[in-house]
Amino acid sequence: MNNAARFSDKMAIVTGAASGIGRATLLRLVGEGATVLASDINTSGLGESLELAKAAADHGGSATSCVVSVTDEAAVRRCVADFVAEYGKLDVLINMAGVLQSSHTTETSLADFMAIVEVNLGGTFLFCREALPHLLQTRGNIVNCASTSAYFGHPCMAAYSASKGGIAAMTHALAWEYIKRGVRVNAVAPGGIDTPLVQATPIGLPKDMDYSLLVHLTPINGYGKPENVASVVAMLASADGAHVNGEIIRIDAGVHS
């Protein structure tokens, strides 16, 4: 199959498209012919992504946008419904929206903990729920974003790790729930990827952080790029991933091998 046209005539939604892995995924899919709804709460970043998408567009690919908080249930419902109403169908959902906050667990309020879970896990759930009726019609697929933090110890990131572990578990549950109805559900688990979220993490770590606890998280051969993850996401979302379902693919250059 010609990768350049893998998504011709495919309609996709990418959340978290204003930066990082979400932006890279948007550009990858548009470059391979998809019509993509780029979703994010970051208006300026989303605008930049759309401009980049215009330059990357090939093989009939294009992008439109929806400024939405993934925690706003009514807005998420509208976002998905309006896109399908305009373009007629939905083939792919890519959930990349997420937030990260670091703090000592003993100093983390329940409100702060739940705020991370609501965005990362709750937002992924909402988009999955609203997209599934349409994906069932096209026998489409979902790619979620878990993290290596779901499986390995990331200190001072209890809320983030819990939310990503929840995404991994939900991915398995959805894959099995819809296995007889033609919808595949997979996830990627990035680690050590150079994104705005990761770049901001050292700033957000506690001032008395014991950095020796982070040694096992440091990529030996340098940080990966968002494009390294986007290429795997594109494979999973395309016909090339047709026999992959309920899988969580770790992308961390072997740091956690």
Give catalytic residue positions. 160
* DSSP tag of 159: H
**Rounded distance between C-alpha atoms, residue 152 and residue 208, angstroms:** 22
Q: Tokens in use for 210?
A: 């014991």
Contact yes or no for 140/92 (Cβ under 8 A): yes
**Rounded distance between C-alpha atoms, residue 22 and residue 197, angstroms:** 11
DSSP 3-state percent helix, strand, coil across the chain (nearest 5): 50, 15, 35
Which ranges constitute the DSSP H helices of the chain? 20-31, 43-56, 73-87, 110-117, 123-138, 158-177, 196-204, 226-237
Phi and psi, residue 160, nearest 5°: -60, -45
Q: Which 3 state secondary structure label does DSSP give 146?
A: coil
Gyration radius of the chain's alpha carbons: 17
Candidates 142, 155, 163; CA nearest to 94 is 142
Contact yes or no for 71/120 (Cβ under 8 A): no
Neighbours of 113 (CB within 10 A): 18
**Cβ-Cβ contacts under 8 Å for 207 (sequence gap 6 or more):** none
